[in-house]
Structure 1
Amino acid sequence: MLTTTVPVPDLRPGSAAEPKWDGFRARVIVDAGQVVLSSRQGTEMGPSFPEVVAGAVQLPDATALDGELVVWDTAGRIAFERLQNRLARRGAGAVRAAQELPAHFVAFDLLPLCGTDTTGWPYRRRRAALEPVFAARRLIAPWALCPSATEADVVREWLTWASVGMEGWSSRGWTAPTSRR
């Protein structure tokens, strides 16, 4: 589900919200030592983002994360144009770009976890399984856990984050299985 603009933020009872970052929607799959980083359309992105592929050693095997690839500039603002420029780079050029302004993978959902298909689980249960992956494994860059909130005041506060490159927020049903954006 893609995000849509609404005139007034409305977090419905029984739902959760997450910031919508100005980046590329992506999925990372780790299975039997192989890592696949792909776009929402299935385009292979790993060669352009070697730091994310290398960082996948931190993830449990037979696990996939859904999220957003972002690049923050030195001022802490999302630099979408730098992210776009990364797509055409491969090999040494991609490695240099990763050293200059590394990409981060902001995870917002868990697909399989250690071989268990979670896609039929309600979002609340998937989120409850995703958070301990970050805590127990002490994930560090390039991984970031996307904030999630059920309080409307928190979501309204996120709307002030435009200066760092947040585009808005998206909402999901907290109790029913859903797809994001």
Structure 2
Amino acid sequence: MNVPSHLTGPLPWPQWAYVPGETGAVEADSETLDMAKALVPSVFRGHVPARHPALRYGLALNDRGYFWESQEVLEAVWAAAPQGGRERVLLRACIYIANANLRLRMQRSHSAARLFGDALTELRALISRKAVAGGDGFVESFPAPALVALLQAKLGRPELTKADWIALGATSRS
């Protein structure tokens, strides 16, 4: 993908938050998402930079309530992340969280709890893997233990509600 020539500033926010089954015949604002996906290289070499604009945008989309859109952008970053790398594990956990947040919006709390549990499993696997010292990758700047604690607290509740969604960007500020 090439970066559109008209894209010189910050990425625009989607015109609406897509919620499957709730936004009627209106599809997702794919034109806006395509701008972010165009920033993702075919392959990241070594690691995914913590400050990569598509990564930061995907996290910010989640935090602004664009959960479906966040998942779409983060999946593009995940696909380009080094195979077998720690960033792929962390990105998969973030994708699960964005998807769980979407399920909470759709009032599917059991599905959301399952996805939060999947994210927790990924984060525990990430923490158990050997870290590389001194990197500037996404995984080195992300406080996975804090997110593990937050997920455990959410999953310890008897029932999840829309208010239980999890922000990712605030957790990962470096």
TM-score bracket for this pair, using the shorter chain length: 0.3 to 0.5
What's the TM-score, normalizing by structure 2?
Answer: 0.35
| Bigger share in strand | 1
Greater RCO (CA < 8 Å, at least 6 residues apart):
1
What's the TM-score, normalizing by structure 1?
A: 0.34
Q: More helix per residue: 1 or 2?
A: 2
